Amino acid sequence: AQRVTQPEKLLSVFKGAPVELKCNYSYSGSPELFWYVQYSRQRLQLLLRHISRESIKGFTADLNKGETSFHLKKPFAQEEDSAMYYCALRDANTGNQFYFGTGTSLTVIP
Amino acid sequence: DTGVSQDPRHKITKRGQNVTFRCDPISEHNRLYWYRQTLGQGPEFLTYFQNEAQLEKSRLLSDRFSAERPKGSFSTLEIQRTEQGDSAMYLCASSPGLSGSYNEQFFGPGTRLTVL
């Protein structure tokens, strides 16, 4: 069963505009959610995780258990934000299985 | 230590052949993960090691796939009797594995397998 859904494969925004990358999940219990990013010709890397409640590179993500969502947001997009973004869920029941969404390719138009 | 390394970076093989990939994690990282990523999809979890012990395996991992981490350092992933459906990017990641907490996974560059 698919556990992480990213409904948008492609997303384009203009520089300076707000951006929101959607992520919905299905999971029983308390989920542990993450956003990973892959810049062009670079490795997949962690952007942020919900338990840290941190802002990284201006991005934030709030876990909404009622809507089972973990959307990634940034108020003012920058060209260097263009990348592939993956939402991921850690299955605490198994301990260390991670489930990734299909990813959203973000393009920030100058 | 420049991070997680994987070898080879690319592998082209004929259907039915066996292939083996290697992953060298960051030194002293005791957790090691293997993922498979096909075009248009996110990484799919395959298996996970804590030191040399293989603790979890996905149902995606058929009996043609086997992974080892004999000394708790580098790991190998072998695919026997490859099929065209095995064509994918195979990613390795490692994390420190401190007890009682999630640790950031550091990903390698991946091995791209093409089965003809």
Note whether A100 contacts B44, CB cutoff 8 Å: yes
- Residue B3 in tokens: 């991070």
CA A103-B94-A36 angle, 5° bins: 20
pLDDT at B1: 53
Q: Return residues 24-43 of B near A (CB < 8 Å).
A: 31, 33, 35, 40-43
Confidence of residue A25 (pLDDT cuts 50, 70, 90): very high
One-letter amino acid of B39: L
Q: Which of A5-19, B28-42, B86-100 has the lowest mean pLDDT?
A: B86-100
- What sign for the dihedral angle of Cα B43, A60, A91, B53? positive
On the question of pLDDT at B101 being above 80, the answer is no
With a pLDDT cut of 70, the percent of chain B lying above it is 95
Note whether B42 contacts A88, CB cutoff 8 Å: yes
Q: Which residues are bridge partners to B105 per DSSP?
A: none
> B-chain residues within 8 Å CB-CB of A45?
106-107
Max mean pLDDT range (A12-16, A59-63, B50-54): A12-16
On the question of pLDDT at B114 being above 60, the answer is yes
HEC readout, B58-92: CCCCCCCEEEECCCCCCEEEEECCCCHHHCEEEEE
The span from the CA of A83 to the CA of B77, in Å, is: 29
Confidence of residue A92 (pLDDT cuts 50, 70, 90): confident
CB B39 within 8 A of CB B85: no
Strand pairing report for B10-13 and B111-115: parallel
Note whether A97 contacts B56, CB cutoff 8 Å: yes
pLDDT at A2: 54
pLDDT at B62: 86
A97 touches chain B (CB under 8 A): yes
> A-chain residues within 8 Å CB-CB of B3?
43
